[in-house]
């Protein structure tokens, strides 16, 4: 949001009428408001404010049946069609572990919620939209033709807030766990020692908090036996290769309030302008590759040897997308995924040494077209 005088709810609604096809996120940015403020302005006119009671929401959504779950950040949108089943509730962490919808949710981040009805020609599109305290979207649930409307309306009634004013109070963005930490808070030896003793990928975030390091700081410091910098085209090339070779992957996209996962095969990968799209029956991904600043291959020890991920970061140091080879808890990493990840072109070690202690804002050398074309590894190489 910028420092302009904010428009009134009436002015916001008029802007929506004048721009019926504009995406909510884009229209809100143009108006200098948050997306939550855009939704709130329509309370009483197709929008009902709901309380962001995550546990009640998740347990009630299963009865709604097939829906589309959407989690996004500034550079990636992750959409999954399925049912909210196998729900695990919790005040600090909640989960959905269904066959198609796989979510990790952090309820304390969720601050605002709205049930939205939007007319699209002769149809009405319905969704539940949730935002953090700054008005940034953390998760959305879009109804599908097969959704149970009775169960949906029942859930909205149960969550309906007593406050239906067309305004919402938003605050500045909260503390960011991925922000760069001023100064060097940990030694390389300490980082490498703790990294080497990881036994589960879920211990990684706790290690960073203990050492007071951001993800990017840790990746630059730890050394190329654990993390190495790749060509920015690596993410698109890996998605394309996974589709061609029928290599099942795990694809994570998240924000402060939610992390959404696809596990399995992908089929249709298309590059349209600066964006890469996965356009499958129950999974869609929209990735703005021009907003990727760095791509890393990362090796984390586990009880099952180690796992290798591809991680793309934006210019703000925040993670955009993570890719792994598909695996279940207790299984070793797939050999074909490991071969693919370990044979992507790396940036020279001399560049890594020069950049190891720099901030994420430092410009890296641009990749050549030849390097981008060379991203697919030779079968059978290690």
Domain ranges of the chain: 9-159, 188-373
200-219 burial: b if 16+ Cβ within 10 Å, else e: ebebbeebbeebebbbbbbb
pLDDT in tens, 354-365: 554 444 444 454
Q: Is 310 left (phi over 0), alpha (psi -120 to 50) or beta?
A: beta
The closest of 257, 280, 260 to 270, measured between CA atoms, is 280
Q: What is the pLDDT of residue 352?
A: 54
pLDDT in tens, 265-286: 999 999 999 999 999 999 999 9
pLDDT in tens, 202-236: 899 999 999 999 999 999 999 999 999 999 999 99
Q: What is the pLDDT of residue 372?
A: 41
Local confidence band at 264 (pLDDT 50, 70, 90 cut-offs): very high
Q: What is the pLDDT of residue 381?
A: 39
Average pLDDT, the chain: 89
**Average pLDDT of the segment spanning 40-54:** 97
More confident residue, 42 or 304: 42
% of the chain beyond a pLDDT of 90: 80
Alpha carbons 113 and 52: distance in angstroms, whole number:
5
pLDDT in tens, 364-377: 544 433 334 445 44
DSSP 197-226: T--SGGGHHHHHHHHT--HHHHHHHH-TTT
Alpha carbons 222 and 129: distance in angstroms, whole number:
39
User: Exposed, middle or buried by CB within 10 Å (0-12, 13-18, 19+), for 258?
Assistant: buried
Q: What is the pLDDT of residue 351?
A: 56
CATH of domain 9-159: 3.40.1570.10
Contact of 81 with 67, CB cutoff 8 Å: yes
Q: What is the pLDDT of residue 184?
A: 57
CATH of domain 188-373: 3.40.1570.10
The closest of 183, 211, 185, 216 to 316, measured between CA atoms, is 216
Taking residue 17's Cβ as centre, other Cβ atoms within 10 Å add up to: 8
% of the chain beyond a pLDDT of 70: 86
Local confidence band at 3 (pLDDT 50, 70, 90 cut-offs): low
Domain pair 9-159 / 188-373, same fold: yes
Q: Is the pTM of this model over 0.85?
A: yes
Which residue's structure tokens are 């992750």?
78
- Does residue 27 carry a pLDDT above 60? yes
Alpha carbons 251 and 228: distance in angstroms, whole number:
20
The closest of 172, 167, 170, 155 to 50, measured between CA atoms, is 155
pLDDT in tens, 170-188: 998 655 556 565 665 689 9
pLDDT in tens, 82-119: 999 999 999 999 999 999 999 999 999 999 999 999 98
- Does residue 55 carry a pLDDT above 50? yes
Local confidence band at 345 (pLDDT 50, 70, 90 cut-offs): confident
Alpha carbons 42 and 11: distance in angstroms, whole number:
11
């Amino acid at each position: 949001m910028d420092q302009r005088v904010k428009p009134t709810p009436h002015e916001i609604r008029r802007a929506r009428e004048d721009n019926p096809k504009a995406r909510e996120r884009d229209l809100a940015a143009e108006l200098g408001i948050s997306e939550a403020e855009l939704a709130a302005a329509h309370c009483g006119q197709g929008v009902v404010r709901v309380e962001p009671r995550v546990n009640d929401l998740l347990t009630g959504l299963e009865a709604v049946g097939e829906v589309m779950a959407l989690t996004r950040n500034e550079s990636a949108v992750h959409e999954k069609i399925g049912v909210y089943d196998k729900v695990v509730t919790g005040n600090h962490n909640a989960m959905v572990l269904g066959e198609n919808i796989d979510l990790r949710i952090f309820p304390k981040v969720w601050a605002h919620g709205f049930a939205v009805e939007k007319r699209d020609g002769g149809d009405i599109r319905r969704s539940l939209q949730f935002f953090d305290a700054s008005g940034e979207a953390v998760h959305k649930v879009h109804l599908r033709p097969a959704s149970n409307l009775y169960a949906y309306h029942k859930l909205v009634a149960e969550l309906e807030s007593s406050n239906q004013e067309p305004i919402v109070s938003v605050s500045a963005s909260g503390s960011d766990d991925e922000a760069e930490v001023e100064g060097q808070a940990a030694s390389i030896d300490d980082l490498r020692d703790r990294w080497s003793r990881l036994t589960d990928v879920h211990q990684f975030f706790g290690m960073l908090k203990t050492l007071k390091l951001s993800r990017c700081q840790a990746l630059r410091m730890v050394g190329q036996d654990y993390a190495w910098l790749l060509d920015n085209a690596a993410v698109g090339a890996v998605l394309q290769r996974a589709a061609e070779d029928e290599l099942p992957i795990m694809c994570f996209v998240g924000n402060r309030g939610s992390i959404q996962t696809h596990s399995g095969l992908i089929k249709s990968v298309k590059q349209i302008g600066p964006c890469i799209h996965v356009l499958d029956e129950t999974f869609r991904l929209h990735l703005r590759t021009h907003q990727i600043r760095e791509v890393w291959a990362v090796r984390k020890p586990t009880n099952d040897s180690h796992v290798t991920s591809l991680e793309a970061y934006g210019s703000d140091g925040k993670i955009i997308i993570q890719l792994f080879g598909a695996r279940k808890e207790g299984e070793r990493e797939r050999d074909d995924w490991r071969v693919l990840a370990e044979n992507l072109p790396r940036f020279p070690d001399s560049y890594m040494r020069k950049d190891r202690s720099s901030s994420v804002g430092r410009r890296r050398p641009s990749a050549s077209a030849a390097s981008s074309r060379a991203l697919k590894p030779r079968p059978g190489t290690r």
